[in-house]
């Protein structure tokens, strides 16, 4: 009987669903055998209590019988009396304890009830979040909500084995107060890890090993930004990342005004607003993952580690991407720090450094190489780059800018200017006025405006990358008009790239325009005299068509990028409540210009007002490839013979249900950082095998380059 008292626990070590099923089956079996076991449902009790109930008071312990030996009739009668007595005592104990015997629910009903409860809870939380968002100043209610969520176990209301454990844990961590503190620099997060490929294969087959020092330079919005402010609304976020990690999402949802105050730069200075201090996170984890599970540099770091790299010979040079490059040095001494880091690495190891950049990081590096040579910058002299840098590896670089930057600044329509994970929140919880104010304050964003003007991007007669359509195919609109007005609501004609940049100067307020003109130039130099006269002008150091590559004949520039993904190339616009061009200047209020999202079914390459072209999903092919395939192979822009290697990779993702990031064959703008072949080339370069990496073309970039009239 002691053994039987513990039996109803189920005894199955499988999943929770199987345990519930077994408990139901056990209960049913016990009901059918009640005459033998004394009831349909048992209450678990200590073994000593069960034994006391099973053994009549004052009786002698029963004598075990030898297996196969039949009991005597008297022994059977005695045992039956003992069993009946035990059943009677169990029933009396049930009455004293108030035990109610209830038939178990069917498994299907249990599942439906649990989903119903889960729906009620999440629906209530969504409604509560909406109320708090509408009035985020009610901090007392927000604190109560945080307290409730911090103690709430979401796992307990969801059907087991229906969702992955790590996903449910991420949701719980995202909503709980404790995860705010968990985003600090000292916390640890269990990120999902890859399979360390292709490094493991290459180490075995090609005997790759670390040779050169490596510095990773991320792109725009990749680096985490953490708060160092100690006043007013900043205090709860001290040393928390307001860009990147779950703190960002919670701040936008529950404390939007405070988040916007931190993310905007001062309109007058282009630096921190008074009382606000936001700084780039430091170390490899500053840009390895944007949020739990969403890798950026994580896979590259894993592969480099297989070759033997660690934090002593591999670094990530994170920066505050909101700032102009001029202000990066003025406020953070970013380029001075980078110069010292490279010099120390050469002295300690005797090896040059390989700079691996992504997206906007390629422009940061271009600026750095001109800054370090200039007497008005790092004053390293003409030979510094050749003596210290082995190679520059541009992954999805943006040498000639990105057209979608123009739409972000013109009308506050960011599309995918930010990370896809952040895109949803910004698009649904901030209006165009708020987005435009934030974007226009970021002087680093204006560095990504398209460069080269009509010479690169075309005019009203056509563009170098225009695709002609045959008689049977739908019409293909030309890319030569960067901004089109065709609804009759505007006084403006269609705009070429030169016109569109001039239009932007009419839209920006006087402070934003002043900072833009202080920091950048977007044209084309065609003579050596122009190059010489602007050699120390920091405004041209981000424009490869207005400065020359450094005196580094021993250095190689590798351009690795993807193509074959639909990419924003031009736009249809309309203007609201505009009687004259002067109405476009917006000191305040919602931007008058906006993308015209009307359907144009007769145009094959137009969707909701966006004219799509060839590229990596973010950067058009002209910007990705022209300088690498043509521009930097001309003496005017590369007078010292820096070796240029261009390698293109067709975007070949897996189906989303197999890998939401596209898998090892994806080469779109962000996921190229996990592309198998791209990573293999990077590993060969840092291992001293860069001479084996040669040109590889698979797009029409060479044909497009021939149509660009630049000497």
Q: Is 616 a catalytic residue?
A: yes
| Degrees, nearest 5: CA angle 338-418-626 | 70
Whether 167 and 23 have beta carbons less than 8 Å apart is answered as no
Phi, psi for 10 (deg, rounded to 5) = 105, -45
Report the alpha-carbon angle 77-78-84, nearest 5: 90
CA 361 to CA 280: how far, in whole Å?
14
477: helix, strand or coil: coil
Give SS3 for 635. Answer: coil
At which residue do the structure tokens 């294969």 appear? Answer: 201
Burial class (CB in 10 A: 0-12, 13-18, 19+), 593: buried
Cβ neighbours for 172, distance < 8 A, ≥ 6 positions apart: 152, 153, 154, 155
Under 8 Å between Cβ of 86 and 54: yes
DSSP readout, 392-428? EEEES--TT--THHHHHHHHS--TTSS-HHHHHHHHH
Alpha-carbon distance 689 to 644, whole Å?
Answer: 15
Q: Scanning the structure block, which residue is given the tokens 């680093």?
A: 444
Sign of the torsion formed by the C-alpha atoms of 677, 679, 682 and 688 = negative
Give kind and range of the element (H or E) at residue 450: none
Check if the beta carbon of residue 408 is closer than 8 Å to that of residue 445.
Answer: yes
Are 593 and 407 in contact by the 8 Å Cβ rule? The answer is no
Q: Which of 327, 407, 669, 699 is catalytic?
A: 669
Q: How many residues does the chain have?
A: 711
Cα–Cα distance between 446 and 507 in angstroms, integer? 14
The two three-digit tokens of residue 636, written as one number: 């005017």
C-alpha to C-alpha distance for 602 and 263, rounded to whole angstroms? 41
**Tokens read off for 254:** 């529950």
* Rounded (10°) CA dihedral 381, 384, 387, 392: -140
Q: Is 669 a catalytic residue?
A: yes
Question: Which residues make beta-bridge pairs with 41?
Answer: none
Residue 415 CA neighbour count, 13 Å, CB half: 26
Per DSSP, the three-state class of 567 is strand
Residue from 223, 359, 407, 687 carrying the catalytic annotation: 359
**Which among 258, 263, 266, 257 has a CA at the least distance from the CA of 244?**
263
Q: What three-state secondary structure class fits 283?
A: coil
From the candidates 465, 498, 499, 616, which is the catalytic residue?
616
> CA–CA separation, 569 vs 615, rounded Å?
9
Q: How far apart are CA 236 and CA 243, in angstroms?
A: 15
Which residues are part of the catalytic machinery? 359, 616, 669
């Amino acid at each position: 009987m002691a053994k039987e008292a513990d039996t109803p626990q189920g005894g199955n070590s499988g999943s929770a669903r199987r345990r519930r099923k077994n408990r139901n089956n056990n209960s049913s079996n016990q009901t059918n055998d009640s005459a033998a076991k004394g009831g349909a449902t048992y209450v678990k009790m200590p073994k000593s209590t069960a034994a006391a109930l099973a053994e009549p008071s004052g009786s002698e312990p029963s004598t075990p019988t030898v297996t196969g030996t039949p009991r005597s009739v008297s022994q059977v009668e005695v045992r039956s009396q003992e069993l009946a007595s035990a059943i009677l005592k169990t029933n009396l104990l049930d009455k004293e304890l108030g035990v109610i015997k209830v038939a178990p629910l069917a498994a299907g009903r249990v599942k439906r009830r649990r989903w119903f409860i889960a729906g009620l809870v999440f629906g209530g939380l969504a409604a509560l979040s909406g109320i708090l968002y509408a009035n985020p100043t009610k901090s007392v209610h927000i604190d109560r909500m945080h307290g409730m969520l911090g103690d709430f176990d979401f796992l307990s209301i969801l059907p087991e084995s229906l969702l992955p454990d790590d996903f449910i844990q991420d949701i719980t961590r995202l909503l709980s107060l404790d995860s705010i503190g968990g985003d600090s620099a000292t916390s640890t997060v269990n990120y999902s890890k890859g399979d360390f490929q292709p490094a493991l294969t290459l180490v075995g087959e090609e005997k790759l090993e670390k040779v050169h020092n490596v510095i990773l330079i991320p792109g725009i919005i990749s680096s985490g930004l953490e708060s160092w402010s100690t006043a007013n609304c900043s205090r709860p976020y001290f040393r928390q990342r307001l860009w990147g990690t779950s703190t960002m999402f919670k701040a936008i949802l529950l404390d939007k005004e405070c988040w916007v105050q931190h993310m905007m730069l001062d309109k007058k200075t282009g630096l921190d607003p008074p009382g606000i201090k936001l700084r780039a996170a430091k170390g490899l984890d500053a840009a390895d993952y944007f949020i739990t599970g969403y890798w950026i540099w994580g896979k590259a770091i894993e592969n480099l580690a297989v070759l033997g790299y660690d934090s002593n010979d591999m670094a990530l040079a994170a920066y505050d991407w909101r700032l102009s490059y001029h202000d990066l040095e003025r406020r953070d001494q970013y380029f001075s720090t980078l110069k010292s880091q490279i010099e120390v690495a050469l002295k300690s190891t005797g090896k040059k450094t390989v700079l691996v950049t992504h997206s906007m990081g390629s422009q940061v590096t271009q600026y750095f190489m001109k800054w370090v040579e200039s007497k008005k910058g790092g004053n390293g002299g003409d030979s510094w780059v050749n003596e210290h840098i082995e190679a520059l590896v541009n992954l999805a670089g943006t040498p000639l800018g990105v057209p979608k930057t123009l739409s972000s600044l013109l009308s506050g329509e960011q599309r995918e200017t930010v990370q896809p994970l952040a895109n949803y929140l910004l698009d649904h919880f901030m209006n165009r006025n708020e987005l435009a104010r934030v974007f226009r304050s970021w002087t680093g964003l204006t560095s990504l405006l398209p460069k080269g003007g009509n010479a690169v991007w075309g005019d009203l007669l056509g563009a170098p990358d225009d695709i002609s359509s045959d008689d049977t195919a739908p019409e293909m609109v030309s890319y030569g008009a960067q901004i089109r007005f065709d609804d009759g609501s505007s006084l403006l004609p269609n705009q070429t790239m030169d016109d569109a940049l001039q239009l932007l100067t009419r839209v920006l307020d006087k402070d934003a325009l002043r900072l833009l003109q202080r920091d950048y130039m977007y044209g084309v130099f065609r003579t050596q005299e122009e190059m010489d006269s602007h050699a120390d002008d920091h405004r041209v150091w981000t424009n490869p068509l207005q400065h020359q590559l450094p005196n580094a004949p021993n250095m190689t520039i590798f351009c690795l990028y993807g193509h074959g993904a639909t990419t924003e190339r031009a736009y249809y616009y309309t203007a609201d409540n505009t009687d004259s061009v002067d109405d476009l200047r917006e000191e305040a209020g919602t931007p008058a210009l906006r993308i015209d999202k009307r359907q144009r079914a007769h145009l094959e390459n137009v969707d909701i007002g966006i004219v799509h072209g060839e590229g990596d999903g973010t950067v058009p092919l002209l910007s990705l490839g022209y300088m690498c395939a043509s521009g930097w192979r001309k003496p005017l822009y590369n007078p010292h013979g820096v070796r240029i290697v261009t390698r293109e990779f067709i975007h070949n993702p897996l189906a989303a249900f197999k890998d939401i990031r596209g898998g090892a064959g994806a080469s779109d703008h962000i996921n190229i950082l996990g592309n198998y072949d791209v990573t293999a080339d990077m590993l060969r370069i840092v291992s001293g095998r860069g001479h084996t990496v040669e040109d590889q073309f698979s797009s029409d970039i060479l044909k497009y380059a021939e149509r660009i009239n630049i000497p």
